[in-house]
Amino acid sequence: MRKIFPLCTLVLLSALSGQALAGANTARLNCTGSHAGQALTLMGDVPASIVEVDLKLSYGGQTMRLASPQAETSESTDFRHGVFRLEAALSGSNKLQLQAKPKSIKYKGSMGAGKLNASFGAILKNAPEPFQSALKGAELTCIYAYEV
């Protein structure tokens, strides 16, 4: 015999499943390297299924925070096809653009399964002021971790 759930039960179950995912919509990004003999780091939370960011870029004794809602972000992630791009725009052309080197991406798991870990080499295509001229083209080694 087939049971029919009342509509309110289905709506409630849908709402609860959405809330369960809402708490884990970011991934952790940890990038390190050196440029012109100085340590360079980019660390923090990046979008996974929502567009929010909270990153810290450090270089030459200075640290800059890029966080939502001041930093408008977009991300394209498809590790299976060698794609990871992150952009955080502060205002106008003042933005951070990080792009993975496609052939360097190694990953295990999947977002659909609720757990993904990846490592890759990346290039800062653009960096926000006051780092813009010093860091454009800098290379980093990154670790990306997502878990529901």
pLDDT tens-digit series, residues 103-143: 999 999 988 888 999 999 999 999 998 898 899 999 999 99
DSSP 53: -
Check residue 13 and give its pLDDT: 30
pTM of the model: 0.78
Structure tokens that stand for 42 in this block:
């980019």
* Torsion over CA: 135, 29, 63, 32 (sign): negative
Per-residue pLDDT of 78-102, as tens digits, reads: 999 999 999 988 887 789 999 999 9
Check residue 142 and give its pLDDT: 98
Check residue 6 and give its pLDDT: 37
